[in-house]
Chains A and B, each alone.
Chain A
Amino acid sequence: MKIVNKAIAKRDGVKLVTGAPVYTDDLAPSESLIIKILRSKHHFAKIIDIDTSKAESLEGVECVLTYKDVPNKPITRAGQTYPEPSPQDWKILDEYVRFKGDEVAVIAASSEKIANKAMKLIKVDYEVLEPVLDYKTAVHEKALVHPEEDSFTHYEIGFEPEKNIAAKYYVEVGDYKKGFEESDVVLSREYNTQATHPGMMEPLTTYTYLDHFGRLVIVSATQIPFHVRRLVANSLDMPISNVRVIKPRIGGGFGCKQTAASEFFPALVTMKTGKPAKVFYTREEVFLSSTRRHPFNIKISVGATKDGVLKAFNVEALSDTGAYGEHAATVMEACAEKIMAFYKTDGYRFDGKAMYTNRVASGAFRGYGKTQGGFAVESILNELANEIGMDPTLLRSKNIIHQGDHLNLGTYHKYEDDITRQDSCELEYCLTRGKELIDWDKNYPSIKVSETKVRGVGMALSTQGSGVLNIDSGGATIKLNCDGFFTLLISATDMGTGCDTILSQMAAEILEVPLEQVNVYSADTDVTPYDDGSYASSSTYVTGTAVKKASEKVLSVLKEEVAILTETDTSDINYNEGVFSYNDKTMTLSELGFKLNNKQISVTESHICSKEAPPYKAGYALVDVDLETGKIDVVDFVGVIDCGTVINTNLATVQAQGGMLQGIGMTLFEDITHASNGDEMNKNFMTYKMPSRKDASTIRVEFADSYEPTGPFGAKSIGEIVINTAAPAIANAIFNATGIQFRELPITPEKVYKALKDKR
């Protein structure tokens, strides 16, 4: 391969590093109305009356819109394939406000200052309602987060708003009861993971205008252009055909931009006024009114023989979906489906409920349930290893699946054997190689570094998806242009992940042309082919397959065109690096491009995810615990990843390093905490601690030599799996250093200090 599996520079790199205006807010027309949003100051309330007259009479104010001005139509904001599995429980503006930060009124003005001034002139009479603030007790609360009668689901997801349940997921696989009966050891533990914020550097931002046909154009920092088109049209009760969504360069997403949010308000204003409008969320708005990771409470039991053969798991999980149920059902399902799937057991049971509370809505965030569930499963396995006196790496080695084995999916779907058979699974290699890299045998369980510091080593395994089976779909269009260059149109949404680069690498490899000869463009719902968007680790594996198919097809179409033009048999046409040859003659792509000026060659191919081809990872942490202060330093973190063929070695490595540091942040300090009145304490980067450059320890990434036959060039996914394993591996390392097992995240120095003190 000449272009794939190489460290190719990111194609937009030069423009990005020189500060070119490529992001949504850089491109917004200067005459846009500026939108500010009045947000609820109560956890839960019903709006009795809103007086906007004073605000509207302020000079420079274009309009102030409330729930009285919008369609009374519930939708979901979740970016998911239609029909969405999330409850339809949200309205653009509603008479109920369900969390502190929920939208009350939309102000459009000629400047931000005027809009802010107008906001203070709006008078709202609220009937303050008793809020539900604790997801663990929400099912017993009299207060209901969704008392309204018009919320609904497209199909059965266990939606029971009368019990504050947004969704349920229950599954039994195999004979878990028999597994427990045959176990010598049964261990039961409870783990808690916290709300963490994606923290992408570009806040949510959108601008809108009407084009010369009067259609609504939405330009937005979104991972999901096609879903935004549908969701906004539905929310405004207008035909989907009247909406066009354009995604410029995105400044990070991590799932936060997989839920529509900022798009609705400028769209509403533009439809009401006919004028361009723009919203740019403040960082506080991003924290308090965009989605974050679902907190999870997981009670788990594991059964095993005394020599470490796993027999059964039993999991009871609760998640906090907050005020709205975006991704509530599917995050729970994702947790159930794969966290135990690479272990051989007799069976398992998973009983999960996603609870409504009057908190900021949870949503998609890298890892999507597997990060939370993985903390519990991998932690209890480490505890089990300790219980039976076995090295945790040996416990894994005894129980993991290998190439040719089947995934033990925690799902009630019945799949054909060839869908769950693992044609690429180098988990054992990842386990072994990571162990070497971290020098496990020397460091396990711990070594004394100084009088006050102990160094512990810990580990965990993980998997993720490569797109969602039978649901995630991607598309690619390839056009030949004059002079023989190609245009690759995609709607995968590069948010820093590099998919513009890697997808064009794939096309260039097949078309046998230099990368510069394949221009790539994403995304515009009027122009680029349908794609769910970039989420669920799908862009390389799913959209990549569409790109591969389209590239191969366009090449065969071009051969046919050469045959027609030269009156030769197609079978006599050969192609090599931009040159067609036939009967001792040649025609270059450039020549063909000009000859086909009267016939546009354009091929579109789609691909739907039709195989479970997950990536695998072993994560190893070496941490120093300060026994006096409780401070934890991650001195080395190793990730060995089987993501199939690595399409771009540089980009994959850096994406992995970034994800692993994000995982370390989640493990050690990222948290959303609450004051006694329920208010969130972490609304900016001063109080929400994300890893800085000084927190970046040694993070080492290696890739297993692996080839997934169903993936493009043998590739699987990498985007999400990289965040997994940090929490259980670090908790394990701390246990090995101190004998204290932390079962709640984050593991802050305060908690470690207190536990050390209690232990003494």
Chain B
Amino acid sequence: MLIEMTINNEVKKVRISNSDYLSETLRDNGYKSVKRGCDKSTCGACTVLVNDKPVLSCTFLSSRAEGQRITTLEGERDQALILGQYIIDEGGDQCGYCTPSLALTTIAMKRELKNPTEEEIIHYINGNLCRCSGYISQLKGIKKYMGVE
């Protein structure tokens, strides 16, 4: 079936079948920042924003995206560059596979939470698994981006 959704502020007609998940639909349409890590909503690598809220797209049926506003990291390039530089400066970008989803979640967090505590930050991004970094450097960079001590 052909459905309509807004992807990164562009209205798009997308062909899907009724059992497709949004991660694959987006990747098939060229939004490669959406990664496949587990297919079970357990690693966070497929995070996209649906109406500004982080959603794990590997278990989100594409048909549910009809008429919704979808944002991938490709649509947040400016913020990704600002946040990314903080993470890079801390050496927190290792294999990079989890970083786009971490970046997108963090960008959403900044819009949603005002002056969060460290605990609230960790809680918000905890669904994003990283096997390389040990998390500490990423948290340092994210706190700088969030403007919190």
Please list the residues of chain A having a beta carbon within 8 angstroms of any beta carbon in chain B: 7, 9-10, 12-14, 16-23, 25-26, 30, 113, 198-203, 249-254, 280, 282-283, 495-498, 648, 650-651, 653-662, 684-686, 690-694, 696, 699
Contact = CB atoms under 8 A, between A and B. Distances in A.
A686 B129 CA distance: 12
Interface string B106-148: 0000000000000000110110111111111101000000000
Given A283-B38, A654-B132, 6 more contacts: A201-B129, A252-B94, A496-B94, A650-B137, A654-B94, A657-B133
Contacts of A16: 93, 96, 99-100
B8 to A, nearest CB: 12
Interface residues of B, number: 54
Contacts of B37: 201-203, 283
B43 interface: yes
A7 B37 CA distance: 30
Nearest to B79: A18
B126 A17 contact: no
Contacts of B99: 16-17, 19
6 contacts: A9-B88, A14-B88, A19-B33, A495-B95, A690-B129, A693-B135
Contacts of A198: 131
A18 B135 contact: no
A201 B43 contact: yes
Contact of A17 (B45, B84, B129, B132): B84
A102 B83 CA distance: 43
Contacts of B94: 10, 252, 496-498, 654-655, 658
Q: Looking at B19, B72, B87, B130, which has the most chain A CB atoms within 10 Å of its CB? A: B130
Contacts of A691: 135
The A contact surface, by secondary structure, is loop
B80 interface: yes
Contact of B133 (A7, A12, A654): A654
Contacts of A654: 90-92, 94, 132-134, 136-137
A265 B99 CA distance: 29
A201 to B, nearest CB: 4
Interface of B: 17, 19, 28, 32-40, 42-43, 45, 72-74, 77, 80-81, 83-85, 87-100, 103, 122-123, 125-126, 128-137, 139
B98 A201 contact: yes
A693 to B, nearest CB: 5
A651 B45 CA distance: 22
B87 A17 contact: yes
A18 B84 contact: yes
A648 B93 CA distance: 14
B109 to A, nearest CB: 13
Given A496-B96, A498-B94, A13 B88 contact: yes
Contacts of B33: 18-21
Nearest to B30: A21
Contacts of B139: 693, 696
Contacts of A694: 122-123, 126
A201 B91 CA distance: 18
A199 to B, nearest CB: 5
Contact of A684 (B40, B81, B91): B40
Nearest to A11: B88
Contacts of A253: 95
Given A17-B99, A283-B38, A662 B131 contact: yes
B96 A25 contact: no
B97 A251 contact: yes
A9 B72 contact: no
B136 A252 contact: no
Given A203-B37, A692-B129, A657 B95 contact: no
Given A693-B139, A694-B122, A202 B95 contact: yes
Nearest to B133: A658
A9 B136 contact: no
A128 B114 CA distance: 61
A19 B137 contact: no
Nearest to B78: A18
Contact of A685 (B74, B84, B129): B129
B32 A252 contact: no
Contacts of B85: 14, 17
Nearest to B81: A18
Contact of B80 (A17, A280, A693): A17
A227 to B, nearest CB: 20
Nearest to A694: B126
B50 to A, nearest CB: 17
